């Protein structure tokens, strides 16, 4: 059996995907790369045609018009590895990922959460306030190489409280690693690994509910990338917002029934909260533990960060008042004000400290593609004395 499959779902970003595939092909032969391309025009296959067997590089042409969730599930169906890693077409990995998979297999680890101590910004990346100052750079924060047991219950509680804030520390298949046996058990129990409209956060909740042996690794094994057309890039440039049904990411979800307690517009908090809520309800449907996401935190985010969607926010708030009661839910919102403020302030303070006070972030410049960044980062890691401490 193949040790590790790295799955790369992609759509209309061949310029990124081809470079990322080339970085992955530098890994040992017991790593399978699976690319699921739903682009209308195949601009990836000609670069690798007849060069590799499917055990090494499997190029899957997805049906046109399928959603990102369907493309992720297709990737799961198409891979052969004992361990699975899903990455974006603008991400890359370090060679230590093979060592991690071997160690996980030996120690019967079913899920791994990585600390993202390195972030890569493609040449076409533009920040909403800082312009192209990040373009073509790799940012590396301190890491220890430590491996430890991961408290999944705590990570679930935090994600539920900061509803709409993201995956946080929940283990994940996207930019994480899980065993194929865990993935199979989730599919058997819940019907699919990926769901909602954001595959990473939906699958993270299911993984968090089913994983039995999860480890935290403080080492840059997976390096998330941000390109101009990626959701990360669009979010940071201010483009990740608008009418829900008009968004090209949402359009392929036919017959989408939106939850009336979540404001109906396209944004980071609404997409994440809807997908997490879908996973929560799926777990509850088969008799799993009932949990209560903090809707007050979500509605506060929407009013504060997306005031232009006042009408949609007001409709959702009215529905939440009807469900929880005006007084009770108003008190929850008031309680969330301080928490949300402290969370936002801590993020800003940490960024300022890291960049201007402690200056703990190393920056490598002039990296046009993930292939350039991968080579540069390998040289950087060779000079560091910190090693991955698998034991």
Tally of helices (H runs) and strands (E runs) in the chain: 12, 14
Distance CA 364, CA 217 (A): 23
SS3 call for 116 = coil
- Give the angle 297-275-6 at the CA atoms, nearest 5°: 125
Kindly give the confidence (pLDDT) of every residue in the chain, 391 residues in length, as a single tens digit, with 9 standing for 90 and above. Answer: 899 999 999 999 999 999 999 999 999 999 999 999 999 999 999 999 999 999 999 999 998 889 999 999 999 999 999 999 999 999 999 999 999 999 999 999 999 999 999 999 999 998 877 889 999 999 999 999 999 999 999 999 999 999 999 999 999 999 999 999 999 999 999 999 999 999 999 999 999 999 999 999 999 999 999 998 766 545 554 567 999 999 999 999 999 999 999 999 999 999 999 999 999 999 999 999 999 999 999 999 999 999 999 999 999 999 999 999 999 999 999 999 989 888 877 777 776 766 666 668 999 999 999 999 999 999 999 999 899 999 8
The pLDDT of residue 201:
98
Q: Is the Cβ–Cβ distance between 183 and 206 less than 8 Å?
A: no
Closest CA to 135 of 21, 228, 231, 12: 228
Compute the distance between CA of residue 271 and CA of residue 197 in angstroms, rounded to an integer: 7
Contact 36, 63 (CB under 8 A): no
Residue whose pair of structure tokens reads 């509803």 in the numeric block: 163
Taking the alpha carbons of 191, 192, 197, 201 in that order, is the dihedral positive or negative?
Answer: positive
Q: Which residues contact 63 (CB under 8 A, 6 or more apart)?
A: 38
Highest CATH level, class, for 4-232+363-383: alpha beta
| 115 Ramachandran zone, left/alpha/beta (phi>0; psi -120 to 50) | beta
Tokens, residue 328: 């009770």
User: Which residues belong to CATH 3.90.550.10 in the chain?
Assistant: 4-232+363-383
Q: Which two tokens stand for residue 293?
A: 């996401």
pTM score, two decimals? 0.95
**Alpha-carbon separation of residue 223 from 4, 74, 87, 378, 383 (angstroms):** 17, 23, 9, 12, 18
Q: Are 278 and 196 in contact (CB under 8 A)?
A: yes
């Amino acid at each position: 059996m193949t040790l590790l499959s790295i799955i790369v779902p992609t759509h209309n970003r061949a310029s990124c995907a081809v470079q990322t595939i080339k970085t992955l092909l530098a890994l040992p032969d017991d790593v399978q790369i699976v690319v699921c391309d739903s682009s209308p025009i195949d601009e990836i296959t000609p670069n690798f045609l007849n060069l590799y067997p499917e055990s090494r590089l499997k190029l899957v042409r997805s049906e046109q018009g399928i959603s990102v969730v369907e493309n992720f599930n297709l990737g799961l169906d198409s891979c052969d590895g004992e361990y699975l890693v899903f990455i974006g077409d603008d991400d890359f990995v370090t060679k230590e990922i093979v060592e991690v998979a071997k160690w996980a297999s030996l120690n019967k680890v079913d899920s791994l959460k990585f600390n993202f101590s390195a972030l890569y910004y493609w040449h076409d990346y533009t920040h909403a306030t800082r312009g192209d100052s990040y373009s073509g750079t790799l940012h590396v924060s301190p890491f220890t190489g430590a491996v430890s047991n991961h408290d999944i219950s705590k990570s679930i509680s935090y994600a539920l409280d900061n509803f709409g804030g993201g995956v946080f520390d929940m283990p994940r298949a996207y930019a994480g690693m899980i065993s194929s046996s865990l993935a199979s058990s989730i599919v058997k129990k819940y019907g699919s690994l990926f769901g909602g409209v954001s595959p990473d956060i939906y699958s993270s909740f299911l993984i968090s509910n089913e994983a039995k042996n999860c480890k935290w690794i403080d080492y840059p094994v997976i390096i998330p990338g941000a390109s101009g057309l990626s959701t990360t890039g669009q979010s940071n440039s201010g483009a990740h917002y608008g009418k829900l049904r008009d968004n090209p990411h949402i359009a392929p979800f036919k017959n989408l029934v939106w939850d009336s307690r979540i404001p109906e517009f396209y944004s980071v908090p609404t997409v994440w909260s809807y997908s997490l809520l879908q996973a929560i309800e799926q777990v509850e449907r088969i008799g799993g533990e009932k949990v209560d996401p903090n809707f007050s935190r979500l509605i506060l985010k929407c009013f504060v960060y997306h005031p232009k969607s006042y009408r949609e926010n007001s409709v959702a708030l009215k529905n939440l008042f009807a469900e929880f009661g005006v007084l009770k839910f108003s008190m929850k919102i008031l309680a969330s004000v301080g928490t949300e403020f402290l969370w936002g302030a801590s993020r800003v303070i940490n960024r300022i400290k890291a960049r201007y006070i402690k200056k703990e972030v190393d920056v490598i410049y002039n990296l046009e593609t993930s292939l350039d960044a991968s080579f540069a980062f390998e040289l950087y890691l060779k000079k560091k004395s910190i090693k991955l401490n698998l034991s």
